Amino acid sequence: MKPEKQCEQLSRFLQYMLGRAPDEFGLYLENDGWCKIKQVLQILSEEDGWKHIRLGNVREIFMLIQNHGLEMENDRIRCQDRSLLPEPESNSKLPKLLYTCVRQRAYAHILKKGISPLGGKESVIMTDNINLAQRIGKRMDQKPVTLSIHTNNFIGNGGQIHKYGDTLFITDYVPADCFYGPPLTEDQNQNKGKKDQKNKNANEKPHESFGSFFPQFDDTLPNKESRKNRSKKEISWKKERRQKKRR
């Protein structure tokens, strides 16, 4: 296939992903449709027929095609025509369960503190398709932890959920009592214990962690002075003895 033809096909695929149905790929677009090119390449690596695409292939679009319908700025890319992008909307008919994934290392903390947006994003991304949730999760962790959110419990506690496209749901925070996941593994429990101990040590005052006895440097000064005086006396005594011998 000629490079120009391949660039045209890739351009059309990216316009569909970034301009029409990002939710189909587990992608929620913020900030005027911009998306990290690294994230786009991750998604392409999951798609049959596009696993071979690299950053150089994306750049070729802008060099070989005039009407490519895309914009690229530093490490970001977006579709020029964003009129068909989905917008978050309220939905009274929610699935009983929604799914999201978190990193294994963060799981113990999340069980205690709840689910917050990751990676500097503004929203927690959820879906009613567990396979899609795990696909999204594997973009940040090889073995992510899948969590199930009880929507009735969440809404009953004052939470708000907006639907994004056909497959995604977003919120700004999920309290710890509104979701469940698998029990902590032994490694996760150990990491949690180490982190708790580290936080405890950071908050402790010196007298709380090391006892109540502190050496007083002032008390040691007289001893230092006496040793110094003794050495002077010894030196003067030796000088006097030498002088007597010379006589």
What confidence tens digit (pLDDT) does each residue in 129-148 have? 999 999 999 999 999 999 99
The contacts of residue 56 (CB under 8 Å, 6+ apart) are none
Q: Does the pTM exceed 0.85?
A: no
What confidence tens digit (pLDDT) does each residue in 149-181 have? 999 999 999 999 999 999 999 999 999 999 999
Q: What is the mean pLDDT of the chain?
A: 85
CA distance 40 to 61: 14
Q: Which residue's structure tokens are 């199930």?
A: 148
Is the separation of the CB atoms in 29 and 18 below 8 Å?
Answer: yes
Overall CATH class of domain 89-186: alpha beta
CA 9 to each of CA 6, 59, 67, 79, 148: distance values in angstroms, whole numbers, following the listed order: 5, 14, 12, 15, 37
- CATH domain 3-79 topology: Arc Repressor Mutant, subunit A (1.10.10)
Structure tokens at 11: 């351009």
Q: In which residue ranges of the chain is CATH 3.20.170.30 found? A: 89-186
What confidence tens digit (pLDDT) does each residue in 17-53 have? 999 999 999 999 987 999 999 999 999 999 999 999 9
CA distance 31 to 127: 21
